[in-house]
Amino acid sequence: MTTQLMVKIDRGLKQRVAKKAKTQDLSLTDLVKMTFRAYEQGRIEPSMIQVPERFNSKTRKEIEKALKDIKARKNLAGPFNSAKALDDYLDSL
């Protein structure tokens, strides 16, 4: 017995993938089935194909500054032993 899967995907991506798959005599359905089977069998994991997140330059600079502060143990608060201690600290700001 089979079932149907509906997936929302960018039209351009779908067309490009379908075109590439066709050069290998594969359909989109074939690709989805192959991917599902490979995942089920442990031959692929999402981490293998995820694209790392890219930040714009402003966000990247802010993150780099925050990481530098963390290493230097600057601009940090806590750790707090209780929610009340955290609340008290926040109230004092």
At 2, the amino acid letter reads T
Q: What is the pLDDT of residues 30-58, one digit of tens each?
A: 999 999 999 999 999 988 888 777 889 99
Give domain limits for the chain: 11-49, 57-92
Specify the amino acid at residue 25: D
Model pLDDT, residue 33: 95
Q: Write down the residue that tokens 């293998």 correspond to.
A: 48
Q: Please write the tens of the pLDDT for every residue from 8-22.
A: 999 999 999 999 999
pLDDT of residue 62: 93
Q: Whole-model pTM above 0.85?
A: no
Percent of the chain residues topping a pLDDT of 70: 100
The residue-averaged pLDDT of 70-83 equals 88
